[in-house]
């Protein structure tokens, strides 16, 4: 919510800069829609209502923007901090309500990730571990176990969808010691102890529109995935929709491949290939020493009309290696 003290400070500057002969009157003011939008947001603090405040400010006539420049500058400072709160709240709501796609079964994982995935899954034996980030219903893992899978399975998700809670509970009981679901936290807050294993101990990691799809800590979460993998282990993730400004990626053709794929191809300690059929990325860990080309965060913005956030980064490192395809 926008504190009443901030609204009062805004209105003090508005009244100070009002030039009308009869004083400031809300019903006739060019700011009335902005004030109504603020009140609506405070009653129901959704991202859509916050965005409407910004829309109303943008519709204030230019002359009035100039007249009330000090007041609007004060308000914008308040809104910058509030926007972060609104976006975080929106993301938590979506994760809690599972508005992301959550019911992908093993067939969709196979379709998205191809034969390398099915081969790796088939080869998992006792003592090998499969980690799935942003698992939703954990349907794929449960199907794997029901089919006689021998590997251990660790699912993660902020919230287990209500329709799957019984199935997950039953699976944890039936496959005790072989399957567990870590819930109630962002991936970055989950400890190795909660995962049941640490760096260099996971044979297979998957992320099908999971953690990397929405995370605010993208570079950190990808780094952790790669650190958790064994040397020779594989990470599969669906196409990651982020924008990266790359000044030193000679020959990069945005029509042929994404900026993410070019950037990820230059991570040290792994090889990365794009599954041409679906755009999925496949990382194989080749060294214990993982180093990602550093990204500077330019923008993270939760969008009211779309599940995935708008994420923009800048990479000033040289990215000589081009993308390989499967």
Q: What is the CATH number of the domain that holds 150?
A: 3.40.50.150
Residue where a domain stops, chosen among 97, 127, 148 = 97
Residue where a domain stops, chosen among 42, 75, 97 = 97
Q: Are residues 61 and 126 in the same domain?
A: no
Tens digit of pLDDT at every position of the chain (326 positions): 999 999 999 999 998 988 766 678 898 889 999 999 999 999 998 888 888 999 999 999 999 999 999 999 999 999 998 888 888 777 767 655 555 557 899 999 999 999 999 999 999 999 999 999 999 999 999 999 999 999 999 999 988 988 999 999 999 999 999 999 999 999 999 999 999 999 999 999 999 999 999 999 999 999 999 999 999 999 999 999 999 999 999 999 998 999 999 999 999 999 999 999 999 999 999 999 999 999 999 999 888 777 789 999 999 999 999 999 99
How many domains, in total, are found in the chain? Answer: 2
Domain that holds residue 306: 106-325
Distance CA 222, CA 216 (A): 11
Token pair listed for 116: 């390398």
Q: Are residues 200 and 307 in the same domain?
A: yes
C-beta atoms surrounding 122 within 10 Å: 10
- Which residues neighbour 86 within 8 Å (Cβ) at sequence distance 6 or greater? 45, 46, 47, 50, 302
pTM for this entry: 0.76
Sheet order of strands, 243-246 included: 243-246, 310-315, 296-301
Q: Are residues 12 and 77 in the same domain?
A: yes
Residue where a domain stops, chosen among 97, 122, 142 = 97
């Amino acid at each position: 919510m926008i504190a009443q003290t901030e609204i009062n400070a805004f209105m003090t500057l508005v009244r100070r800069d009002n030039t009308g002969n009869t004083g400031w009157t809300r019903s006739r003011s060019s700011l009335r829609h902005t004030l109504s939008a603020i009140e609506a947001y405070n009653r129901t603090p959704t991202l859509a209502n916050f965005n409407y405040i910004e829309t109303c400010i943008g519709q204030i006539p230019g002359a009035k923007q100039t007249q009330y420049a000090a007041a609007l500058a004060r308000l914008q400072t308040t809104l910058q901090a509030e926007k972060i709160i609104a976006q975080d709240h929106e993301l938590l709501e979506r994760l809690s309500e599972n508005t992301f796609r959550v019911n992908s079964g093993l067939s969709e994982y196979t379709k998205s990730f191809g034969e390398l995935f099915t081969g790796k899954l088939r080869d998992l034996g006792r003592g090998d571990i499969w980690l799935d980030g942003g698992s939703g219903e954990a349907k794929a893992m449960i199907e794997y176990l029901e089919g006689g899978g021998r590997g251990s399975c660790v699912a993660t998700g902020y919230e287990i969808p209500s329709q799957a809670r019984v199935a997950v509970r039953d699976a944890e009981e039936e496959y005790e010691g072989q399957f567990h679901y870590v819930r109630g936290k962002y991936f970055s807050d989950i400890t190795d102890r909660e995962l049941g294993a640490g760096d260099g101990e996971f044979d297979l990691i998957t992320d099908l529109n999971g953690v990397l799809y929405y995370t605010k800590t993208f570079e950190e979460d990808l780094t952790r995935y790669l650190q958790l993998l064994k040397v020779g282990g594989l990470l599969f993730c669906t196409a990651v929709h982020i924008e990266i400004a790359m000044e030193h990626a000679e020959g990069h053709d945005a029509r042929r491949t994404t900026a993410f794929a070019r950037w990820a191809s230059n991570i040290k300690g792994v090889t990365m290939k794009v599954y041409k059929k679906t755009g999925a990325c496949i990382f194989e860990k080749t060294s214990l020493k993982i180093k990602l080309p550093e990204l500077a965060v330019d923008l993270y913005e939760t969008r009211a009309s779309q599940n995935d956030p708008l994420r923009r980064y800048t990479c000033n490192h040289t990215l000589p290696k081009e993308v390989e395809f499967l």
